[in-house]
Amino acid sequence: MKHFEKAKRLESLPEQFFASLAGTVNAVVNEGHDVINLGQGNPDQPTPPHIVEKLTEAAQSSSNHKYPPFRGLSSFKEAIAAFYLREYGVEVDPETEVAVLFGGKAGLVEIPQCLLNPGDGVFVPDPGYPDYVSGVALAEASMIKMPLKEENGFLPDYRVHSREEWERAKLMFLNYPNNPTGATATISFFEDTVELASKHDICVVHDFAYGAIGFDGQKPVSFLETDGAKDVGIEIYTLSKTYNMAGWRVGFAVGNKSVIEAINLLQDHLYVSLFGAVQEAATTALLSSQDCVTELVATYEERRHLLISGLQGIGWDVKAPQGSFFAWLKVPEGFTSVEFSTYLLEKVKVAVAPGVGFGEYGEGYVRVGLLTTNERIKEAISRIESLELFHKRD
């Protein structure tokens, strides 16, 4: 059979980190081992019943068996606008400031292709979500790493970047609550971001995937709550985490009209919008009671406390995340992040994600998900304790 070479743009794509990680873990599981998988980012709870019921009802409507409008149902976009006004006090025009997405990931990969030309610079957080890099590669743009360091609260320090980098950059990715570090941002940080973006004509893309998940009574801040934010950027939101709809592939972008139009234009050539029944179910999720979200965040907070207090109890010096459903943990001395992840999987069948998979500045950490039961978290802590890597506290 003849072999056809991939296009150069595909050859430039980074390795799909999460697919590789899943393959490694699955190989151990297939050998018959009981693996506690704390390395994944896949919500473990089902979609709330009232959302599923709406999908079932809407799927039976013949109106949803046809192509939906290219740019999404007006009712869904109006629900998005109502959601932003209710949750963040932000007014959004549903027709000109909303783009319906096939999940947040699709939007994050599409946006560099919408706005960038080959060679343009993109500020990318390091460590960060690996698919930011995928979008940059497909646009043939140039990545400018923004180190996220613990001493800065895992916020980028804009002062470290040169004048040349600021002049070359056309786009900036941010993500708070942050994956993988669990850090959150403040309005003052976003104010500084808007000021710099305006000065240097940079479009800011805030990945708000974990926007609903904040701890200790603190609600995460939307970038669009900042004065002038819509002038310089957009926010991308997904229903995957807030409503446990990861497999539904539904999200949206809101903000700057010109950017939204660029996304819609690209998607006009790729899709004919989402299945109408999914859009109707998503509308129900956004507009109905949010008790399911409150309960979900409480579940993650309970798991966070159990994990962090348990690990501290066995002598591992770790800190609690401020948001998201991840914890970002320093590896013991003498290990790289890959070595420690491999050691845990081989010795006690506990899977975690090595920090270096999220970027150069992720080295020295592992990411742990709060995406399994309390009992499995306790068991994972017990297994790690058996390795005697830490000095147990009195």
Interval 126-139: pLDDT, tens: 999 999 999 999 99
Are the beta carbons of 250 and 274 closer than 8 angstroms? yes
DSSP 15: P
Closest CA to 84 of 210, 279, 222, 178: 222
Q: What does the mean pLDDT of the chain come to? A: 95
Residue 92 CA, chain-centre distance (Å), reads 22
Q: Let me know whether 76 and 196 are in one domain.
A: yes
User: Each residue of 338-357: b (16+ CB within 10 Å) or e?
Assistant: eebbebbbeebbbbbbbbbb
Residue 394 belongs to a domain = no
Mean pLDDT, residues 345-374:
96
Mean pLDDT, residues 292-304:
98
Q: Let me know whether 241 and 374 are in one domain.
A: no
Report pLDDT for 9: 85
Of 287, 318, 352, which marks where a domain is finished? Answer: 287
Q: Let me know whether 210 and 65 are in one domain.
A: yes
Identity at 378, one-letter amino acid code: K
Report pLDDT for 226: 97
Report pLDDT for 15: 78
Length of the chain: 394
Query: How many structural domains comprise the chain?
Result: 2
Of 263, 287, 311, which marks where a domain is finished? Answer: 287
Report pLDDT for 12: 84
Residue 338 belongs to domain with CATH number: 3.90.1150.10
Report pLDDT for 393: 60
User: What's the pTM?
Assistant: 0.95
CA distance 142 to 233: 19
Closest CA to 380 of 347, 334, 332, 336: 347
Residue 107 belongs to domain with CATH number: 3.40.640.10
Mean pLDDT, residues 51-56:
98
171 bridge partner residues: 122, 203
Q: Let me know whether 23 and 146 are in one domain.
A: no
Question: Under DSSP, is residue 351 helix (H, G, I), strand (E, B) or coil?
Answer: strand
Per-residue pLDDT of 100-112, as tens digits, reads: 999 999 999 999 9
Closest CA to 173 of 246, 87, 115: 115
Q: Let me know whether 184 and 70 are in one domain.
A: yes
Per-residue pLDDT of 312-341, as tens digits, reads: 999 999 999 999 999 999 999 999 999 999
Per-residue pLDDT of 209-222, as tens digits, reads: 999 999 999 999 99
Range of the domain at 362: 8-47+291-385
Strands 169-174 and 203-207 turn out to be parallel
